[in-house]
Amino acid sequence: ESNLSTGKIYQTVIDRERMGDYLGKTVQVVPHISDAIQEWILRVAKAPVARFGAQKKETPEICILELGGTLGDIESMPFVEALRQLQLAVGYKNMCFVHVSLVPVLGSPAEQKTKPTQHSVAQMRQLGLTPDFIACRGIEPLEPSAKRKIAMFSSVPQNAIISIHDVSNIYRVPLMMMEQNFSSMLAHRLRIKPFYKENDSKKYSAYEQHDITGISKSHVIKEWTALADSVDEPDSECVIAMVGKYVDQGDAYLSVVKALTHSAIATKQRLKIEWIVASDLDIDDDSTTQEVHDDAWVRLKKSDGIVVPGGFGTRGFGGKVQAIKYARESKTPFLGICLGMQASVIEYCRNVLNRPNAHSSEFKEGLAEDIDDAIIFMPEGDRERMGGTMRLGLRETTLRKGSIARKYYGSENVQERHRHRYEVNPALVPDLEAAGLHFVGRNTDGSGERMEVIELDESTHPYFVASQFHPEFTSRPERPNPLFHGLLEASKIAAAKSE
């Protein structure tokens, strides 16, 4: 719900038209698409959320919207128009705009250039939006002369031009904004406490008294400051090998990286990720060479922990299985996610149950039923359609008492998000459990029992855990996901032993 895309909006409008909601009218971008965007925003704005570090959900006072991309792009035009209309609908005092702009440094001697910001604000105004604040991104703090120039050409008060320069870690950015009195100005602009009863004509940027809202003294900011400080003051360094298929695509594993970062902060470690292309670990893969293969294995073996994340397709699958075998046999802390769990089950079938032909029916046909088909297609799945057929969203998993997963979650029942079409074949579970692979997390719904979490006993391996769900999606800076937290704790111990 919080991720609003063009496809979702267009599908909503098409469905309404097919249901006859528009009574035969011609469906247009304005008003039908723009109205649908506004309705979606207003609905999500009222959805209950939890405060920082809390579990209980409450109705929020403020909803933050991020309109991505660049002003003027054709893809974002319906959203820009919808936001223009939305401010008129809810009122000026109930909606403000923060424009984020880059202030590059060019020339010799180096000079901060404000022209890109001047032009982007002009473009914003042409589209009917007026910025209340301008957040200027740059390497160094914004110079007073640059602030004056931007204020002059944008008609935004100089105090409301906020410098977002490089800091030691990303968690210091909100603290940096508070130092520039952004919290007090924003509170006045939106008429929230302590300004919600005032009816003065004073402009929001005129409040120069620092932190009139008192937010800097709140437990939230104190905890956040402690979080930011801990990032800069780790006790040790930890190297985690990420064995994946899409390592050259930047943000493909961003959620996993963030989840690892959250747990590294909680365990007071400096995180270093060793990116390893899964296919490089498999010498039989045509895309690798002996030199690349050897280098990949050297880097894997130097790591303190291993993560095999989710993915689709056969490329690199053999390398993932080999990495999991190494993690199991060498007792290197390991976490598998989605396809990583499926690969773990296949590896165990091949090398412990002595079923060399074990595989996933996603990648190989004609497998011996209930012997070699370790991973099967979901019983309720649709093989004809690829889009919209995955098992998605929050599902409840029941964790076995005494398991590693139960210890870290601290609860019998947990809610985690899913994204898959294939799953472990339940018929193989008794043989696998008898051989030492424990299925400690299960989900029971109308289509039968599903395997959600596997692990090896702590007496045989310090941390070997994998899940069908995606634990990275529920990790937060102040509340790291338990499975990642367990991995980083075990990896910290492993790193200390290797020194």
- Known catalytic residue at 338: yes
User: Is 96 tagged catalytic?
Assistant: no
Distances (CA, A) of 3 to 9, 37, 252, 445: 11, 12, 17, 27
Show the tokens assigned to 193: 């406490």
**Residue 400 · residue 465 · CB < 8 Å:** no
* CA–CA distances in Å: residue 70 to residues 82, 119, 127, 133, 166: 16, 12, 13, 17, 22
Cβ atoms within 10 Å of 246's Cβ, excluding its own: 17
Can you give the C-alpha Rg of the chain in angstroms? 26
Task: State the angle between helix axes of 254-266 and 219-232 in degrees (0 to 180), rounded to the nearest 10.
Answer: 100
Using CA atoms, how far apart are residues 490 and 177, in angstroms rounded to an integer?
A: 36
Q: Give the span between the Cα atoms of 420 and 31, in whole angstroms.
A: 37
DSSP 41-108: HHHHHTS-EEPTT--SEE--S-------S-TT-GGGHHHHHHHHHHHHHH-GGG---EEEEE--EETT
- The two tokens of residue 227 are 């979080």
Structure tokens at 14: 């098409």
List 81, 416, 452, 472, catalytic entry: 472
The whole-angstrom separation of Cα 483 and Cα 251 is 21
The span from the CA of 109 to the CA of 161, in Å, is 24
d(CA 212, CA 216): 9
List the catalytic residue out of 136, 238, 338, 349: 338
- Pairing type for strands 438-445 and 391-399 reads antiparallel
Q: Which of 188, 461, 470, 485 is catalytic?
A: 470
**Among this protein's residues, is 472 annotated catalytic?**
yes
* 401 to 18, 407, 486: CA distances (angstroms): 50, 8, 17
Catalytic residues: 338, 470, 472
